[in-house]
Amino acid sequence: MVDSAIAAAIRTLPKAELHLHIEGTLEPALALELAARNGVELPWTNVDDLAKQYEFEDLQSFLNLYYQLMAVLKTEDDFRDLMLANLRHAAEDGVRHAEIFFDPQVHMKNGTAFETVLNGLKEGARIGRERYGVTVGLIMSVVRDESVASADELIDVAAPYANDILGIGLDSAEVGFPPHLFEDVYRKAKELGWHRVAHAGEEGPVGYIEEALDLLHVERIDHGTHAADSPAMMERLAAEGIGLTSCPLSNLRLNVVDKPSDLPILEFMNNDMAVTINSDDPAYFGGYIAANYDILVTGLGLKLDDLARLAGNSLAVSFITEEERAALFAELEDWKTEHLG
């Protein structure tokens, strides 16, 4: 249990969240509400029964439920409501800026138009900024275990909306779907002016991180847990200032690591890597971003100055303007003065 004063300080710590899947914020109660709204039949009829399904053996067991529940998202209002529910949590946890993944291929397979998804998320982000003061950038993720042809088609569909999209990501089942498969997709994304990130080294090997850097030319690595297996990779990531978007509760719930003390966060920090803390799919993994900071206190013994450093990393590697970055760093310095002396 985190000391109450430390927990409160964590929740006011100015931070950015750089690894969050909007579909992964779908809480059981909202999933059932949207299923009823849209006439989608689920195997579960009450929150308790559905909540029991949120136990996973590995990444694939999580994805099976994740994709099943995505079927309840049908209308612009659904995506707006999902975004607003998440931004309320984000504001409560001290998030000032969020770069949020969405998975249009899955929604399109479910019969929902790309424009419906994007417009709903944009509207939620607009209202959320006014209501909660959290800015949002949208990162369109490619589902790597779909065909490369499907990813190419997605780029064509999304291209007319290029100015509404911050970047491209690569997610879903990692092993067996190496980054090099999507080299041409990422080339097209770069031509559209998008930032580039990719999930690599969560369940996949260090070689996937190397491919993401060298072939996809990513600016951040999502997860990157297995970078800890290679001193050379850790040295490279540090030297190049490549951000890692680590997700502690996700790593624990999906058995990427066995226990909190196995999380490589401290090792990354000791190697001067730009590691950041994020919640991934918080509705499924037991906590939003502040809870992921909490586990570093109880599981790794990190102190408030360590957490402030991690928050600073999140501001440094986010895709915001330099003016926005300076303002958030000033806010972080004020927090440090208040809490660290």
> What CATH number does the domain containing 302 carry?
3.20.20.140
In whole angstroms, how large is the CA radius of gyration of the chain? Answer: 19
Q: How many CA atoms lie within 13 A of 199 on its CB side?
A: 25
Beta bridge partners of 216: none
Tell me the per-residue pLDDT of 294-332, one tens digit each, with 9 for 90 and over. Answer: 999 999 999 999 999 999 999 999 999 999 999 999 999
Tell me the per-residue pLDDT of 111-123, one tens digit each, with 9 for 90 and over. Answer: 999 999 999 999 9
What is the average per-residue pLDDT within 15-38? Answer: 97
Locus of tokens 């330099």: 322
19 labelled ligand-binding: yes
Which pLDDT score is estimated for 112?
97
Range of the domain at 70: 4-340
280 labelled ligand-binding: yes
Beta bridge partners of 195: 167
Which pLDDT score is estimated for 1?
85
281 labelled ligand-binding: yes
pLDDT at 283 over 90: yes
> Would you please indicate which residues are annotated as catalytic (active-site) residues?
202
Concatenating the DSSP letter of every residue in 191-248 gives HTT-EEEEEESSSS-HHHHHHHHHTS--SEEEE-GGGGG-HHHHHHHHHHT-EEEE-H
Which pLDDT score is estimated for 89?
98
Which pLDDT score is estimated for 37?
95
Which pLDDT score is estimated for 341?
81
More confident residue, 311 or 57: 311
Which pLDDT score is estimated for 290?
98
Average pLDDT, the chain: 97
Tell me the per-residue pLDDT of 236-265, one tens digit each, with 9 for 90 and over. Answer: 999 999 999 999 999 999 999 999 999 999
97 labelled ligand-binding: no
The pTM (predicted TM-score) of the whole model is 0.97
- Please tell me the total count of domains within the chain: 1
Which pLDDT score is estimated for 200?
98
What is the average per-residue pLDDT within 139-155? Answer: 97
306 labelled ligand-binding: no
